[in-house]
Chains A and B, each alone.
Chain A
Amino acid sequence: MTTRILRGRAHCFDGVLDVDWEICPIEDLNYLRSAEGCALSYGEKQHFLSRNCLTRLDPDFPNKVAPGDILVGNKGVGWGHDHDHAVMALKGVGLSAVICETTRQNFQRNCLHHGLPLVKVAGVFASVATGDLLELDLNAGTLLNETSGARLTFKPYPEFILETLDAGGLYAGHLGHANT
């Protein structure tokens, strides 16, 4: 079986994270819908959207993320519309996974379909602080906070979803963003 263990530093954000407000402003989505925006490649869109990712909550956030870092949210992560630009913004800043208490299916499915693992882990927000080193095992359904020693569990996804994540999303092959 493929090993599916992610390791990265946590970035914690409390409160509802609206796809169109906190995660990535609607103005940036509107640009992507313009003729110029439509012409961008997948990678260029990610790069464009990453500039304002979560900057309403932390203006310097895009510069603080190291590739592979993990977003840890509380309740209402990915709240609002099914606008998937928010997922591309999170990928664009370099995040490798989203862990939260609660979300909505449109956001959850958009994350998985873009190849960004999102897991709901009860108790995660109280167990993790920004900067903690996390180990997320998608096969086992375990989250280890290496900094504090806390260990939490969650229901793992079925194999077909994990394979979608392995591939880097539903369309990674022909859109040119396969995981490497």
Chain B
Amino acid sequence: MAGKNVIQKILARSVGKPSVETGDFVHVRSNCITTVGGDGDGRGLGQLDPNAKPSVFDPQRIGIVVGHAGAGGMPRTAGNHRRKMRQWAETVGVPRENIFDLGSQGVEHVIAGEQAWALPGEVYLSIVDGHTTALGALGGFAVALSYGAAEYITKGYTWIEVPPVARITLTGRTKPGVFARDVYEYVLGQIGPNGTPSQVIVWDGDYVRDLDMDARFTLCANALFSSAWTNIIEPDDVTLDYVRTRTNKALVPLYGDADAEYEQQLRFDVSDIEPQVVPPPERHRAAAVSKHAGLKISKAHIGTCANGRYEDLKLAAMVLKGRKIHPDVMLNITAGSTAVYRRCLDEGLIGIFMDAGVFLPPASCGMCAGGKNTPLADGDVCISSGTCNYPGRMGSSKADIYLASPATVAASAVTGEITDPRQLL
């Protein structure tokens, strides 16, 4: 009989059983803080019974993050949602230190990582958002509750059908100018939109081991695009160092057995991958940057749950230092959290960005979540490190969105056309 994969082990422990099988239906509880968007859409609090006394299963295990709606975009709803959220949090007893409102706001998955709300070996749940999977980089099972959220925050448990697991092993070293975002887009291009249907991806291999945490979050942010439910990197010293500097909670990491059961096992050598660009409208048609090089752009964006962390912005600064944004281009860099901005200030990145002529909105999901700040207009051509390239994602549905790494976006913003970042690094 095959051994157990890491997902089976995490779910078994969360339900207090010695083991679970793929396909079992189980009711799981989470030891982690569940992240609630503080200015989001109608899912979550919108489904609570208005006639019932407001209560949650454990207010200590609720965290609230404002930033999805652009931290100032959509003023009417952002204002209403924030006020209602704060009133609700007060009523049910969510601790103040679990609330990241305007002034400490950002992308919920960036802040949840910074706060180590997701932990190795644990089930981590957020109220909404397919990109919750970024937190799988911390070695837990990280998924969004979506329409089931209100039931969860009332009862404290949710059902899960133990999912099949795909193992994707990445080996080799990337060329200079090629980053985790390029590697992810390349792999997605190879496996396609149905590459891992309803599966959980386990990323491993020496390439993954050598990545810092910010790059691991990038690798894990977009698992949904090959139809995976989520993804995970089994914890190592990099993970544990990151978590231990952020929490003193007890950690008991879990690992798959050497003979664990996998639905499929794939291997990719990253050595020959070029910087990637994903043209609209389909998400998975990545190509080497040379295929699209020279295309004129009007807007550019760096940030989001995929590439809005410190190392991403540092990469942008390496390209932008001593240079100016092309006069026909607006480059919007939006940090994924207020703490990311703070570090950028300390390390001198803000000055580089301002000298280059970058537009710097408050930390949030930036242009990606529906174009909440500087939305695309009809006819715009944008290159972005955001998550999606379908028409309308960042504003007008009559604008084109190309996706790329922060380095490629920054290089393109300087030249005014899609550009291989190696020319400017």
Binding site for B on A (CB under 8 A): 16, 18, 20-21, 25-27, 29-30, 32-35, 38, 75-76, 79-82, 84, 87, 102-106, 108-110, 113-114, 120, 155, 157-158, 160-161, 170-171, 173-175
- Give A29 to B392 CA distance when docked, in angstroms: 11
Could you tell me if B147 and A109 are in contact, using CB atoms closer than 8 angstroms? yes
Contacts A81-B224, A84-B147, A174-B51 given; indicate if A30 touches B370 (C-beta within 8 A).
Answer: yes
Cβ distance A122 to chain B, nearest Cβ, rounded Å:
12
Name the residue of chain A whose CB is nearest to the CB of B81. A38
15 more contacts with CB within 8 A, not counting A113-B151, A171-B47, are A18-B390, A26-B393, A33-B41, A33-B74, A75-B194, A80-B225, A102-B227, A104-B229, A105-B143, A105-B229, A113-B147, A114-B147, A171-B49, A174-B49, A174-B51
Taking CB atoms, residues of chain A closer than 8 Å to B55 are none
CB contacts (< 8 Å) of A84 on chain B: these are 43, 146-147
Tell me which residues across on chain B come within 8 A of A38, comparing CB atoms: 42, 77, 80
Per-position binary interface string of chain B over residues 144-166, scored 1 when its CB falls under 8 Å from any chain A CB and 0 otherwise: 10111011000000010101000
Q: For residue B229, which residues in chain A have a CB less than 8 angstroms away from its CB?
A: 104-106
Find out whether the CB atom of B390 lies under 8 angstroms from the CB atom of A26. Answer: yes
In the complex, residue of chain B having the shortest beta-carbon distance to the beta carbon of A171: B47
A117–B146 Cα distance when bound, in Å, is: 17
**What residue in chain A is nearest B129 (Cβ atoms)?**
A82
Q: A76 to chain B: which residues have CB within 8 Å?
A: 193-194, 197, 227
Chain A CB within 8 A of B281 CB: yes
Q: Is the CB of B227 within 8 A of A104?
A: yes
For residue B140, CB closer than 8 A to chain A, the reply is no
Say yes or no: A27-B397 contact (C-beta < 8 A), given A33-B77, A104-B197, A171-B150: yes
**Please, how many angstroms separate the alpha-carbon atoms of A35 and B84 in the complex?**
14
Quick check: A110 and B390 within 8 Å, CB to CB?
no
Which listed residue, A20, A103, A120, A160, touches B390 by the CB 8 Å rule?
A20
**A30 contact set on B, CB distance < 8 A:** 370, 392
B197 engages A106 (CB within 8 Å): no
B147 touching A87, Cβ below 8 Å: yes
- Give the one of A26, A105, A110, A157 with max B CB within 10 A: A105
Cβ–Cβ contact B147 & A110, under 8 A: yes
The answer to whether B197 and A103 have CB atoms under 8 Å apart is yes
A102–B224 contact, CB under 8 A? no
Complex: A162 Cα to B151 Cα, angstroms: 16
Contact B198 A103 (CB under 8 A): yes
- 8 A Cβ contacts from B158-178 to A: 159, 161, 163
B322 CB-CB contact with A under 8 Å: no
> What residues of A have a CB within 8 angstroms of the CB of B227 in the complex?
76, 79, 102-104
CA distance A38 to B392 in the complex (A): 20
Q: How far is the CA of A33 from the CA of B128 in the complex (A)?
A: 14
B50 at the interface (CB under 8 A from A): yes
Asked if B120 is an interface residue, CB under 8 A from chain A, the answer is no
**Does B18 interact with chain A (Cβ within 8 Å)?**
no
For the complex, give the distance between the alpha carbons of A27 and B225 in Å: 20
A108 to chain B: closest residue by CB: B198
Closest 8 CB pairs of A and B: A102-B197, A82-B146, A105-B229, A174-B49, A113-B147, A81-B130, A84-B147, A75-B194
B359 on interface, CB distance cutoff 8 Å: no
Q: A35-B80, A114-B147 are in contact. Are A27 and B197 (CB under 8 A)?
A: no
Residues of A within 8 A of B390 (CB): 18, 20-21, 26
* B148 adjacent to A109 (CB under 8 Å): yes
What CA separation (Å) do A80 and B163 show in the bound complex? 18
- CB within 8 A of B42: which of A32, A79, A160? A32
